[in-house]
Amino acid sequence: MIFVAVSTFGFERLVSKMDDIAGRIGEEIIMQIGETKYHPKHAKYFNFTSEHEIKELCRRARIVVTHGGVGMILNALQEGVPVIVVPRLKKYGEVIDDHQLYLARELEKENKVTVVYDVDKLEVNLDRVGKNQSKFLRDRRLIDALKKYIEQAERG
């Protein structure tokens, strides 16, 4: 199963592309779409659920595809699941700055996630990541650093 999560804000570009992919592949895709206006036709979806359910879906997933938000990336990494990050981008009006892009690039440098910059390359990356049978190792240093980042951001 592939789990796609976009958190609260809508992310039409990612949700519609994953729905298109869901119509072509034989694997179950479950999406948490938040306030996305596009409703998938080929994949199961829901708007919101509990943190517990999100973690359970991450645990069950073969791959997690998510926006560049720290919380979702952290959930997937804690479960040792391969993560594909599609950052929301300023140029598409999805965010006010490219902070998700910067985080994604840093995690990509550390080989913690696969970053897809162009959604037209998402399917090829799903296939490539899916063929890698090894699970990502849980790296406490990364998890601790991300938690610290979240705590600092919440304090302002």
The residue-averaged pLDDT of 16-31 equals 96
Chain segment 34-44, per-residue pLDDT in tens = 999 999 999 99
Chain segment 44-88, per-residue pLDDT in tens = 999 999 999 999 999 999 999 999 989 899 989 988 899 999 999
Domains delineated in the chain: 2-155 (3.40.50.2000)
Query: Which pTM was predicted?
Result: 0.84
Strands, E assignment, 29-153: 29-32, 44-46, 63-66, 83-85, 114-115
C-alpha span between 121 and 70 (Å, rounded): 22
DSSP state, 137?
A: P
Chain segment 82-128, per-residue pLDDT in tens = 999 999 999 998 989 998 899 999 999 989 999 999 999 999 999 88
Structure tokens at 125: 């990356």
